[in-house]
Each structure stands twice: as structure tokens, then as C-alpha cells.
Amino acid sequence: MILCPRWWENPTPQELAYFNSLDGRSKSEILRWDINHRSHPCIRARMDECFDCGEFGHRRPCISTNPFPCPPPFQDWRRSINGKSYSKGKLRMSLADLAALEAEQAIEAPMDLSSEDIELLESLEQAASTASQVTSTITPILSQDGSNGNEESSYYTTQESAQVNPVVVDLTKESEHDAPTPIVSNPMSAKEVALWEAIEAAGELTPVTLTSEGTPTVDKSGPHAWDGSHLRKTLAKQDIKR
């Protein structure tokens, strides 16, 4: 069908029906798309868009180095008023896409810093390095509630409690199958330590007594059926004397 010049100003029903039957790409050949503020900056700069890769700056043959090109579909191309074809996504970009494109271009643009800007950056870097050195020289102080250095404070607490309250083994178990039960007692004197060493050297069934001077002695006259009461009486006497 042959259309009259400027037919869209006063179209006939036949011309309007024919125009509506066309696809978007064919309609743009008749009524070309204008270029406005929502068009890509490269389109406003009258650059070409490649049909094979969708990049700006060339048309054919394609010179793109992208190994995975993603060209727009053929039906998405539209003829613009400058006589070149562009994808409709670049001719009419959304405001969000335009803002993202401007931010990307601002990041990739080379920075032109003046001498004052360079001096300011150097002073900030020097201040940051000085602050880091001062922080590294400060020794962390353990708080009373153990909020700082919980592992170290718990370690020292365990060591101190072990020295103040030593763990001794109850030797009064009648059955050999009973496991020895740790008993936390008060700090032992030098005589009590010597007594325990004598008991360990002589064995559980050998009675150990104290001389008048308080020195532990071992009765080696023979085996005795000792149930631990002798040891308890001896320790009780030591407590009374103290």
C-alpha cells in the first residue's frame, strides 16, 4: 500500500489499519523515533550501535573483543531520526538505568586531583598510620569482670585455685574397683607433705606414725589390715596441735 506524504496528519481508515498491522520495527521505518534525554549518551553523540554485539562505536564488521556477545533481538531495533538504527532499550532507557550508567561512568572516569587534594590525602594517610601505631603499643588490661582476655584470666584463676586448694586422692576406698575421688583440702604443711610422701613410698597397707618431733615413720614389721582410720587420727592430731 502506498502512503501519501504526511498521511499521519489526516490518515484514512485504510492507511490507519495498514499502519497498525505492522510490527514495531517496520513502524519505526515510517515514523522514526526521536532522540531525547532518555536516550543513551552514545546515541546522543551520534555513535553507531553494532548489530552483532550491541556495543557502540562500530557497526559492521564487528570488532568487539567480548567472547560472549549479547546482541539485541532483531525485532528490538528501531530507526531513529538521525537515520541510524538502535535498540529500543538504548533509545528509551529508564531513569534507574540512566542513573546507574552515570554512576558507572563517574567511577571509571580518570580523577584529576589538584596539589591541594593530594596534600590532603597524604595528611589523612599519615594520621591513620600514626593512630594505628599508637593503638598497637597499648597493652590490653584485664578487667575484674573478665570482659577482656577471658582465656588468660580463667587460666590464672585456675592456677591460683590449684595452688591454694591442692587436689589430694582419698585412699580410704575399701573396694579396689572404686575410683579415687578428688578431695579439695586446705593447704598442707611441710610435715603433712612429708607424711603423704612416706605413705606413697611405703604403700597403702603400711601404717605410718609420727615421732615426738613430728617426723613421719613407717612401721615395716609386717603387713597390716589398715582401713585409713590410722591416717585420719594422725591428721586430726595435727589439726588439734595447729
The verdict on residue 50 lying in a domain is yes
Residue 13 has pLDDT above 90, yes or no: no
Crossing angle of helices 190-202 and 229-241, in 10° steps, is 170
Say how many domains are in the chain.
2
Residue where a domain terminates, one of 58, 75, 107: 107
Query: What φ, ψ does residue 84 adopt, rounded to 5°?
Result: -105, 155
The verdict on residue 224 lying in a domain is yes
* pLDDT on residue 33: 92
The verdict on residue 2 lying in a domain is no
Q: Are both 96 and 24 inside the same structural domain? A: yes
Of residues 134 and 226, the one with the higher pLDDT is 134
Confidence of residue 157 (pLDDT cuts 50, 70, 90): very low
Mean pLDDT of 193-203: 66
Q: Are both 16 and 100 inside the same structural domain? A: yes
> What kind and span of H or E run contains 218?
strand 216-218
Q: Are 180 and 160 in contact (CB under 8 A)?
A: no
Q: Are both 101 and 19 inside the same structural domain? A: yes
Mean pLDDT of 91-115: 85
Residue 144 has pLDDT above 60, yes or no: no
The verdict on residue 170 lying in a domain is yes
Residue 143 has pLDDT above 60, yes or no: no
* pLDDT on residue 137: 62
Q: Are both 91 and 178 inside the same structural domain? A: no
Separation CA 138–CA 152 (nearest Å) = 17
Residue where a domain terminates, one of 107, 129, 144: 107
Residue where a domain terminates, one of 59, 91, 107: 107
Separation CA 61–CA 191 (nearest Å) = 103
Range of the domain at 180: 166-241
